Amino acid sequence: MKALILAGGFGTRLRPLSCTRPKLMFPVLNRELLDWTLERLSKSGVDRVILAVNHMADALERSFRYSRYGIEIVYSRESRPLGTGGPIKNAEGFLIEGGEPFFVLNGDVFSDVDYGKIVKFHEDRGAKATIALYEVEDPGRFGVVELSKEGRIMRFVEKPKPGEAPSRLVNAGVYVLDPSVLDIIPHGRKVSTERKVFPALAREGSLCGYRFDGLWIDIGLPEDYFLVNKMMLRSLAADEPLVGKNVKVHETAKVVAPSAVGDGSTVAEDAEVGPYAVVGRGVEVGKGSRIDGSIVFQGVIVESFASIRGAIVGEDSIVGRWAKIEEGCIVGDHALIGDNVTLTRNVEICPFREVRSSILEPGKVM
């Protein structure tokens, strides 16, 4: 079976980290989000993936090339963003081949939904489109449905206003579509699947909803991105830290579970990593430093006696001696946080910035 993955989008709410990487390349326990998705798809028998790309397409193509986990990867490019529906039409040539239903996935979703079960459900109902549905506390940020007992979607409302959500069941961004759905998507235009296509299919009675529980997070916001890493640490590294290849941990240093340390990293004497730390590949954690509740991307150098708590530090950044990065801070890639600098809560530093003096008010440093 084929799957189209929506991989465009700007990830505005994940700035400054999304300034330098597409959302699908955000690391979750040191593997790109897309890598997790491809692995799961391959396990359910998907053999061809169409990545619908525009913004930062090259980064994706350089990293993922043309196959992974036995899946063939092709790139469907847009010269300008076509929304969530336009890219499906744009890839029509790939999708109609064989005349079978195909998957469409929002690429920024991390989930362990059983793809095989959705297909089965779709076939049993004879639907034109089937959407995976997940129950959340606060549905306002999502597409929300009214579902009948038989699993038909009676109404689909994208991002309802407060008090107007028909339920707490939301569109999980995983669909099975019949090729006939392509007929109702206009060509060469920006189209919203959620505002145009799904409401039309719901009116016609050919949209079904498959409910699932388990793991599901849209990583669109920093807190959700944190949460995904936390949940995966709990599920894969609860008792024992997940330590990559060629990692050197000094005998006086501690790595406390749940935590993960990527390949080739070093943790120097008296340093403490964890709990809830994800340290990327090739990171140097200096003497006496502390990292907890944080995500440190690959190639970061943390000098001695620095502390990083509840923060994200982007790729190849340098955190100086005695620097202190507090909760909610996000440091962009290739930034430099000088010696003795404190970043108070919720400070954001843009990529490539050098910060030489403390920032004691929350805010962005461009």
Binding site for ligand GDD (CB under 6 A): 6-9, 23, 52-54, 78, 81-84, 87, 106-109, 142-143, 158, 170-171, 173, 194, 218, 220
Shortest spacing between CB 234 and Mg ion, in angstroms: 23
Which of Mg ion, ligand GDD, none is residue 30 near (CB under 5 to 8 Å by kind)? none
Shortest spacing between CB 307 and ligand GDD, in angstroms: 33
Shortest spacing between CB 3 and ligand GDD, in angstroms: 13
Cβ distance to Mg ion smaller for residue 109 or 336: 109
Closest C-alpha among 228, 161, 160, 194 to residue 14:
228
Neighbours of 87 (CB within 10 A): 28
Shortest spacing between CB 159 and Mg ion, in angstroms: 11
Cβ distance to Mg ion smaller for residue 27 or 220: 220
> Is it true that the peptide bond before 179 is cis, omega within 30 degrees of 0?
no
Which of Mg ion, ligand GDD, none is residue 287 near (CB under 5 to 8 Å by kind)? none
Give the DSSP H/E element, type plus range, for residue 121: helix 115-125
The answer to whether the CB of 94 falls within 8 A of the CB of 177 is: no
Which of ligand GDD, Mg ion, none is residue 194 near (CB under 5 to 8 Å by kind)? ligand GDD
Which of Mg ion, ligand GDD, none is residue 170 near (CB under 5 to 8 Å by kind)? ligand GDD
Closest C-alpha among 300, 284, 287, 282 to residue 337:
300
Cβ distance to ligand GDD smaller for residue 169 or 343: 169
Which tokens go with 199?
């409401």
Cβ distance to Mg ion smaller for residue 108 or 178: 108
Contacting residues toward Mg ion, per CB under 5 A: 108, 218, 220
Q: Buried b / exposed e across 163-179, counting CB within 10 Å, b at 16+?
A: eebbeebbbbbbbbbbb
Which of ligand GDD, Mg ion, none is residue 8 near (CB under 5 to 8 Å by kind)? ligand GDD
User: Rounded distance, CA 330 to CA 321, Å?
Assistant: 18
Sequence letter at residue 314:
G
Distances (CA, A) of 313 to 60, 189, 349: 21, 38, 9
Shortest spacing between CB 326 and Mg ion, in angstroms: 27
Give 167-214 as a DSSP string: -SEEEEEEEEE-GGGGGGSPTTS-B-IIIIIHHHHHHHT-EEEEE--S
Shortest spacing between CB 121 and ligand GDD, in angstroms: 18
Cβ distance to ligand GDD smaller for residue 99 or 163: 163
Cβ distance to Mg ion smaller for residue 218 or 348: 218
